[in-house]
Amino acid sequence: MTPNLREAAVLADVDVRDIKDVEDMMRVAATIFAFGSRYVLVKGGHFSDASSMHVPDVLVGPEGVSVFDAGLVETLNDHGTGCSLSAAITAGLALGRNAPDAARDAKSFVLAALNGARTWQLGKGRGPIDHLGWGCE
């Protein structure tokens, strides 16, 4: 399960504004994990305080808790990040990686795709991420 902060708040029956740090994310992820999911990855890309300049994701599973942190990429091209992350996790699992490694690798993939599309100007509104690495140097 890969809910963003807003979705995780609804599932855990908390106000999203009360999720302020990694510890809060861990509590929410643990609450959702207790419902019966094998793994829960709460994504931190929608933190309301973007001044922190970091985006942690919290994975809770039978092995415990893993935190995957990355710097915030300032871009309007972030459309599809959640779907791309879950698809990349699925691909990693299909390749035989364990869930924590698949989640870590997926986060790295999405981070690279965000950085690759960081300066793109495609039409109006939010654009896609750079899945194919076209913007990488």
Same domain, 2 and 47: yes
Tell me, rounded to whole angstroms, the distance of Cα 112 from its chain centroid.
13
- Answer with the residue of higher pLDDT: 75 or 49: 75
Same domain, 41 and 13: yes
Same domain, 79 and 136: yes
Instruction: Give me the domain span that covers residue 40.
Output: 1-72
Residues with Cβ < 8 Å from 3, sequence gap 6 or more? 11, 32, 40, 41, 42, 43
* This prediction's pTM: 0.89
What is the residue whose two structure tokens read 């643990």? 30
pLDDT in tens, 16-68: 999 989 999 999 999 999 999 999 999 987 665 556 688 899 999 999 999 99
